[in-house]
Amino acid sequence: MTGLREGFVAGLPKAELHVHHVGSASPRIVSELAARHPGTVPSDLEELRRFFEFRDFGHFVEVYLAVVDLVKTPEDIRYLTYEVARELAEAQSVRYAELTCTPYTSVLPHEPERGMPIEAYTEAIEDARVAAERDFGLVLRWIYDIPGEFGLPAAEETVRFAVDHGPAALVGFGLGGPEVGVDRPQFKPHFDAARAAGLHSVPHAGETTGPETVWSALRDLGAERIGHGTSAAQDPALLAHLATEGIPLEVCPSSNVATRAVPSLAEHPLPAFVAAGVVVTINSDDPPMFGTTLNQEYGVAADLLGLDEAGVADLARTAVRSSWAPDDVRRRILDEIDTYSGG
């Protein structure tokens, strides 16, 4: 890292805006879930590391869904959520996180004999959220996302879960999964309904497809932040639009390399985003699956951008300001960053 004291990033108070619920399950958590539900996912930690070695984005989705299948009961949901919160707070100094949840793959409305009621799902994440704030001082909010690989039926159910069953801590509505062959415009009615219910729009776009997917997310889905947006660097007009409108990109460098969205960290477009005046936040996406942490992603960003401690602290402030945290939580974390960094 450029000009950073050892331990500076680890202790820096941070907000995490692009991190997936199931995708945050560390080997420790996955091992516990695999032991509860023996099957295709190994419970041995060394075997799990090999299991998480991705060949490409398609293979990542396969592995991700295999881990999703381990979360079978409300007790599993509660355990996963609470332990993810523990690791965010204790190991990453995260004070606030917007955790992207995919209730469709746990409720399984198309396979009710395998799924759980949405009411039980909601109760489990909310119980864990309240306990995490009490025990770790971590404020959690939820984003419900459509798993794009399941198409319109998943979109219809996810917006129903959000609008009819969403907890008060639900702040956003997203779209994840594969982009190729999953056009953004088909989900416009679902995002319209979610936005009408007061939820913010935060779809993934431009990760494994071109800039037009980002334009579509802005035009058709009313995106207020963009998940990844990697290919936006290919379109100067898009970069100018993002900068002018102040629409943040949720940048996840190591994820982009692991899924082959970019060839290497050295070729990551983060510097181009910053040079164009685009608001960027640094995030970890599915950190254990990509062998990273939010602390490591801040280190990567510091290297790519040539940042000193003041610059890294500014990245942390940008994430807080780009969040949908309550105003008092924002002020508190910003004050903590100032105190910690001397700024």
Residues with a known catalytic role: 207
For residue 301, what are the contacts with CB-CB under 8 A and spacing of at least 6?
251, 253, 270, 282, 307, 312, 315
Contact indicator for 4, 310 with CB cutoff of 8 Å: no
Sequence-ordered alpha helix ranges (H) in the chain: 8-11, 27-36, 45-51, 57-68, 74-92, 104-107, 118-136, 151-165, 188-196, 211-221, 236-245, 253-258, 270-275, 294-305, 309-322, 327-341
For the chain, how are helix, strand and coil distributed in percent, rounded to 5?
A: 55, 15, 30
Phi, psi (5° rounding) for residue 119?
Answer: -65, -40
Pairwise CA distance, residues 76 & 124, whole Å? 9
Pairwise CA distance, residues 138 & 96, whole Å? 6
Pairwise CA distance, residues 150 & 104, whole Å? 9
- Report the Cα 43 to chain-centroid distance in Å: 25
Query: How many Cβ atoms from other residues are within 10 Å of residue 145's Cβ?
Result: 26
How far, CA to CA in Å, does 322 sit from each of 2, 231, 325, 327?
25, 21, 9, 12
Pairwise CA distance, residues 267 & 256, whole Å? 11
153-162 burial string, b = 16+ CB within 10 Å, else e?
ebbbbbbbbb
